[in-house]
Structures are given as C-alpha cells and as structure tokens.
Amino acid sequence: MTALTALTTRFYQRVPSEPLLAPIFEHMGSDHPEHVAVFIAEVLGGPREYSSRHGGHAEMVRHHLNRHLSNEQRKAWVALFLDTADELGLPDDPEFRSALVGYLEWGSRLAVINSQPGTEVDEDAPMPAWGWGEVKGPYDPGAN
C-alpha cells in the first residue's frame, strides 16, 4: 500500500502538467489518489478494502460515467503512470512490469468504454483480479 499510494500521489501531482489530462482531473477530491491506490492494490491481490469501504467495482465505474474520455487521453494516462513508476523506482523486473502494464491497459480501456454515453452500471460486477499472467519468456533472474 505504501508503494502504490506513493505512486498514485505522485502521478496525480504530475497530471496538471499534462495538457491532455489536466482538464479532466481539475475537480478531483483530495482522497482520489488514495482511492485509486486502494483499488489497484485489491486488483493485484492486496486487501479487499475498496470492496469493503468504497463500494467495489460498481462505484469505480460510476466515477467514469459520462466523462467522454478519449483513447488519446487514455494513452497519456497510462504513459504518465508508467513514467511515474520509473521516477519512483518501483520494481522493474519484467514479471512485475508486464503484470502492471497488462492491468493498466485493461483497466484504462474499461474506463474509456464506461465513460461513453449510455453506459449502465452492473451493480454485481466483481472486482477484477490480476495475477502474474503466463510469463514464459526466457528471462531468468537466477541465471548467470
């Protein structure tokens, strides 16, 4: 939680300098970074705190309704997020980064889809659960 909260806090500090992102986060609440960290932590197998205290997946979806987010904004969001992970020196082993990128790619596309007019919230949608995926490349940190 400490690392993810530091990551989202720094990410939203940098958002005002990104022309594509600044306007959409202009009115966000001060606890926004923490809520996003808690959400991502639960997805990655951490405590089920977003579900128990913040309304679960349906509540996250509600925050994106009618925001008319574009794919360009989505790409800027993901790029800034990953750049912030580098800036803060988060683990950069291929396994962790591929899992992180995989979830961000999936989740950010969902945010864009849910931000379009006519989206209905599925109150029973489960929280996504992201694992390490099937990492089967030749990378082996124990080799050499």
> What are the binding residues?
35
* Burial call 103-115: b when 16+ CB within 10 Å, e when fewer: bbeebbebbbebb
- Amino acid residing at 87: E
Is position 57 an interface residue for ligand HEM (rule: CB under 6 A)? no
Is position 130 an interface residue for ligand HEM (rule: CB under 6 A)? no
Per the listing, tokens 């990551």 go with 7
- Pick 32 or 97: Cβ nearer ligand HEM: 32
Provide the annotated binding site for heme.
35
Quick one: which segment of 2-10, 11-19, 62-70, 85-93 binds ligand HEM (CB under 6 A)?
A: 62-70
Helices 71-87, 2-14: crossing angle, 10 deg rounding: 120
C-beta of 39: minimal distance to ligand HEM in Å? 4
Handedness of CA 88, 90, 94, 100 (dihedral sign): negative
Contact 87, 10 (CB under 8 A): yes
Within residues 98-117, the interface with ligand HEM by CB under 6 A covers 104, 107-108, 111
- Amino acid residing at 49: E
Contact 58, 2 (CB under 8 A): no
Is position 24 an interface residue for ligand HEM (rule: CB under 6 A)? yes
Quick one: which segment of 10-18, 20-28, 117-125, 129-137 binds ligand HEM (CB under 6 A)?
A: 20-28
C-beta of 73: minimal distance to ligand HEM in Å? 4
How many residues touch ligand HEM under the rule CB under 6 A: the total is: 22
- Pick 77 or 85: Cβ nearer ligand HEM: 77
